[in-house]
Each structure stands twice: as C-alpha cells, then as structure tokens.
Structure 1
Amino acid sequence: MVPIEKQVQKKIAIYLSITDGKGSYPLRRARKLANTLKNEAEIIFLYDQHTPFPDENFTCHKVIGPSSFITQVSKLQPDLLIRDAGPSNTDEMSKLVELVPSILHFDDFGDGGQLTDWVIQTLYPETQELCADHYITGPDTFITDASLHPYRHAGLKRKPPSSSSRLVISFGDEDPGNLTFRALRHLKQLQIPLSVTVVLGDNYKHDVSEVQMMALSRRNTRVVQAPDNRAELFSEADMILCDACYTPYEVAVIGVPCIVLAQNEFESNLGFPTEKNGFIHLGLGRKVTQSNLLSAIMEPLLHDARKERAIKRQLQIDIGSGEEKVLEAIRYLLEFPKRTRLDMLH
C-alpha cells in the first residue's frame, strides 16, 4: 500500500454546457459536487460560451468548440471527466475514452452515452427504452438544494385560512419561450380570487417591464426577480405553474399541486412530471389554450381531494437523496478506473 503522503491526488474535470433551457440546476449540481469532493481530488471546471463562470473557488477554463474541449482534456489529463453538456456524439467520445481513465455523464440523450462509463439520467423520456447497464436512471438521482430541506413535505401541513389561494409561476432561470408572460395574460381572465407571485430567474431573457406591467393590470399579483427565498415561496403556494425540466423535482420534494408547461419538444417528452407522479402536464406551453390552463388551475383549488391526492403522489416518489448515490458512483470511478494510463498508451 502506498503511504498517504506519497499518493498522488486524483484530478476531476467537470465540463458544463448549459443548454436547452435547463436553467441553473446543472451548474448548482456541479458546484455542490465540487465542494463536497474538493478535499478528495483536484477539481477543474471546463465551460463553454453559453455557461456562466462556474466558481471562483476552483480553476476554470473556457472552451470554444469541440476541438478546444478535446485539447483542454488532453492537457489536463484528468482521472475522471464529468460531463453535463447535453447530448454527446460518438466521434467526440471515441477521442475522450483514449484520454481519460473514467467518464461520467449527466442527462445525456446522445449516441456518445453508449461509449461512456456511466450515465446518470435524472431527466428521462416518458416512453423509456431499456437502457444499457451503465445508465443510472430515475428521480432518485436528483440532488436537492440545501434550501429545499427545511420545506420537505410542506404541502401536507395545514396552512392558515386566507382570503385567497396562492399561485407561484416559475419558468426556470431563462424562460426562453417567455411562458411567464403568456401565462399571466391568460390569468387576467380568471374569475376566482387568486394571489399570484411571478418568480423570474437570474437570466430571464425578456423585457421585465412587460411582465411588471401585466402584473399591475391584475389584482394581488407581484413580480420578484431571482429571490433568495424561492423554496419558501414554493412551500407557501397552493399551486405552482412551471417548466417541465428540473423544477418539478424541486416541487415534488416540497409537495405542492403543480401544472407543467414544456418549454420545448425536449421537455414535452420527459417522463417525470406526469399525472401518476402528481403533476398536471399540459404539453407545450406555446400551444396551451387559455381555457385548458384556467381549468387546470381551478381544479385542485376547488377540490381538496384532488389537491391532496396530487401532493401524496409527489411525496411517495423516492426523490431528493440523490447526492450520496452520485458521490458513490464518482468515488468508485476514481478508485477503480475503467482504463489505465498504460492501456491508453498502447
């Protein structure tokens, strides 16, 4: 056995490309893993032009295009590459498996996932084909933000009586299709008393003043941008209207009736935010009609039994404890690499 002081510290490269309207969750997931593992390995971030600067506490390298990415990996020679960058392709992966002893991907729907060592699919298709053995799939891989922990199962707690029900609208960090504005426009026609809180993300891509003007035209409606207490706002809601990507996982940790509108075709095919899991899925947000949206909002607000059933379905899901499962996979790949440097030289 090599004495601890003689052991060479392992190196982990984390590559991020935040695409497809996935919001800030992939970056938050990467930061959480990096901070947990920083005393066990050297952590280096690689990120592309679509992604915010990952973390000032770690070495970060910007990459421009696939060739730059391969070059950086070749220079760094990490023991493990963690890739959270959307669909991969076989050409790129064929080069990477010759450079890196172990590779782990997050939420990879591309052909390159077949060549990697492990793929962790928190997002998965509704009609799921049988995955290869190295795919770890399901909501139990979701890593919960610490901000959600105080509000676990909050939906089952009795709320004090109030004059109106509360709706929270949250379409992720960017809201590329401006579903926030579309939903507010439809809500102007709702006849029941309803207090509405609109949560805009850090990188909301549209004119904030337009949303604020729309909110002013409706009673009991307010707009908040990038609030620190987003989890608390969710926990106080009687209904949440959100995207179909990572936000429903956060909602399910708390347990709140939830309507999802897909931001794009990719989201519309995801298998988590479904009726069996306690969600009302109305399909593509750009195609939702006013009558369908308003009916979906009123149904659980007017029928306590349906509201309680939705909450219980969410809370029955094994979700929110994914960090240990993911860390176990990472540590295993570091300790038992799929390839050795010697193998890759031959």
Structure 2
Amino acid sequence: MAKKILFRADGNTETGLGHLYRLFALVEIYKEQYQFVFLTKQNSILDIIPKDYLLATIPDEIKMSDEPQWIHSHFPPQKYILIADGYQFTATYQQQIKNRGYSLIYIDDLATDHMYADVVINHSPYIQEGHYKKEAYTRLALGTQYALLRPLFLESAKLNREVNSIHSAFVCFGGADPFNLTIKAVKALLEIQNFKNIYVVLGGAYKHDDIFKLEEEHSDRIKIYNNLSEDNLVKTMEQCNFAIAPASTILYELCCVKMPVLSGFYVDNQELIYKGFLNHNAIIDGGNFQNYQVSNFIDHLKLIVYNQQLNHYIMAQKALFDDKISERHLNIIKKL
C-alpha cells in the first residue's frame, strides 16, 4: 500500500503565506495519486487552506524541538512521507525526522543549512548544486524545472502572449507586505497617466487600511481584490500587461501568464530568486525594495512606459517553464 503524504507548512501575519501556497501547488500535483494530510500550527491563517484538504493542526504549545516526536506519535513513518516548507525546519529538525524513519522532502530557498532531507527542492533559477552542504544520499531538485506552480499557471506557461503596450497594471506584494509597498507602488502608478487600470491583490495577512481610502478616491482606476482563488487570480493577471511584485511565488505565477514585471526583493529568501530571474533577463530590475518610496517607483515607471522592447521579457519568461514540471515532481516521490 502506497504511503500517504504529510504536507507541513505554516503561514501567518508574521511569516507571510508563501510557504503555504508553495505546498498547495504540490498538493494539486500529488492529490490525484496519493492520499494526504495538510499539517500546520494552530496559529496559521487557516481560512486560506482549501476546504477540501484533510487538515490537521499542531497545538501552538508544541515547541519545534518537540515537534518531530509529536509528528511521530500522530503520523507514523510506516504510513507517511513528510514534505516540509519553512525556515523552522533546520538541519537539527531534519536530522530528528530522519532518525525517526521518515522519508523527507524539504522545500528550500536559502541554501544555508546542511541538508539531511532525502530530497531538497529549490526552484530558484539562480541556485546550483555547489551552493549546498548536504548528506551523500540527499538529492537536489533545482531550478524552474521544479517550479512550485498550481495547475492553472502550469497551463498558462504553455501559452504564447505578446505585449505591445502597457496600460493595465497588476500589483501584489504577498501575504503580509510588511513595508506596505503596495500603496507606494499604487500611488506611483496613479502618477503615470498611461495606466488606466490598476489591479491590486492583497494577501490574507495584509493589515494596512490606507489602500482602501485610495481606492475610494480613484475608483475609476483602482480595483482591489482579497484572497483570490487560483482561477480568479489567473483571470485578473490576464487583464494586465505590466506588474509590480517581489521575487516570491507571485513572480513565478506572473511569468507563467507573461508580462513585463518590475521585481525586486525585501526579505532574504527572495534574493536568490530575484538574481535568477534577473540573470535570465525575465524581469525589470527593481533591486532591494526595502527602502523604496513612491518616487523610486515613479522613476522606474517613467522609463518603462517609453520602452518599446517589451517582448524580450515575455520570451525569457516562456523559456523558464516547460510542460514536464508536474511529471518531474511525481518522479521525486516515486524514487523515494
């Protein structure tokens, strides 16, 4: 009898939601062939977890040092494979999981800790095997060949698209947007008359209110969406021909739909992804977003709207993703 998969990630206002969404992508690839349980801490934002997932929660009082034993008590390794995504799953944690007999797949984007997992997936186009310290048995699944993308985005990646002018912008800075870059980018777009429509997607952990006042003042140009479904997110992106977003999961999704993207980073885990997409000429270079003000976005936008060479970004984006991504992820499990 095939083992079940135990997906393990957390997401809240402090950590953001990226780790959850990356595992959602893998769930969608595996769920037709494997039974699974989605495991998260009680303090995660549970509302965003799809209702059809079999959900289990770890009590908040369970410390990370005690978690491997807690998992072993509830989900024995004879029945479960563990797939984990999050920075709390350190070398020590991985060792403890392996010592208890689990097959472990770890989703990484920092390449800092020594890896004890059976397989490490890092979908940054920048990362190489030499970046990793690992056990001899640890296999690496690196680059956009192993992109963590939901099914509709995998389908979008196969399609051709041309962008000959830009007038509709997409803005999303992830689940929490701790620097409130969303409103700075939107204010900048309002200053550029080319942009007739500005579509703003807010994450489940977004806590700033000022964007809604701006929407009231410019209701003819700004449309705000919260926690869009996969289908509605694709449709919203398809209405746009330009985007501003960080180098996180949302960038992969935008590059599947295909449009010029002003992208950068504001936390460490985004930097390697940013470098990879930049090296492939797939994004417009925004650099470090942490200290951006409205004026910084305006300076970029003034150059972008007069750039007639837009489709080379589209071609570079299309080259990053092929039609074998789901098959590769399925093969990872089969080889365990």
* CA shift in 2, pair 1:300/1:150, >3 Å: farther
Match of 2:330 among 318, 327, 330: 327
How far residue 15 of structure 1 moved from its aligned partner, in angstroms, is 1.5
Can you list the C-alpha shifts for 1:130-180, whole angstroms capped at 9, x where unaligned?
435622110111133233355446662478x9xx71111112233233211
Aligned mates of 1:26, 1:105 — CA distance in 2: 12
Structure 1: give runs of 5+ residues left out of the alignment: 1-7, 334-346
Paired residue total: 317
8 Å Cα contact 2:169/2:240 also seen in 1: yes
The aligned counterpart of 1:299 is 303
Corresponding residue of 1:18: 11
Corresponding residue SS for 1:288 = coil
Unaligned 5+ segments in structure 2 are none
Distance 1:206 1:104, change over 3 A: same
TM-score in terms of structure 2 length: 0.81
- The reply on whether 1:100 has 2:117 as its aligned counterpart is no
Equivalent residue, structure 2, for 1:311:
314
| 2:273 is equivalent to residue 278 of structure 1 | no
Contact 1:141 1:319 in 2 (8 A): no
Q: Equivalent pairs: percent with the same residue? A: 18
Query: How many Å separate the matches in 2 of 1:83 and 1:16?
Result: 6
Report the CA distance between 1:192 and its aligned residue: 3.9
How many angstroms does 1:30 deviate by?
Answer: 4.2
1:46 matched to which residue of 2? Answer: 39
Q: Which amino acid aligns with 1:146?
A: P
Match of 2:196 in 1: 194
Provide the aligned C-alpha RMSD in A. Answer: 3.0
Asked if 1 retains the 8 angstrom alpha-carbon contact of 2:22 and 2:148, the reply is: no
Q: Quick one: distance in 2 between partners of 1:108 and 1:165? A: 33
* Residue range with higher mean Cα deviation, 176-185 or 19-28: 19-28
Amino acid in the other structure paired with 1:267: Q
Task: Compute the TM-score of the two structures, normalised by the length of structure 1.
Answer: 0.79
Aligned in 2, Cα 1:44/1:152: closer, same or farther, shift over 3 Å? Answer: closer
Residues 273 and 281 in structure 1, CA contact (< 8 A), matched pair in contact too: no
Q: Which residue of 2 aligns with 1:145?
A: 150
User: Could you report, residue by residue, the CA deviation over 1:82-114 in whole angstroms, capped at 9, with x for unpaired residues?
Assistant: 111225323222222111242111125366552
The CA deviation at 1:216 is: 3.3
- Deviation string, structure 1 residues 316-336 (Cα, Å, up to 9, x no partner): 213564222111111211xxx
Query: How far apart are the structure 2 equivalents of 1:92 and 1:275?
Result: 33
Which residue number corresponds to residue 169 of structure 2? 167
| Distance of aligned partners of 1:227 and 1:66 in 2 relative to their CA distance in 1, 3 Å threshold | closer
Tell me which residue corresponds to 1:77: 76
The one-letter code matched in structure 2 to 1:281 is D
Alpha-carbon distance in structure 1 between the residues aligned to 2:37 and 2:77: 9
Q: Which moved more, 1:143-152 or 1:169-178?
A: 143-152
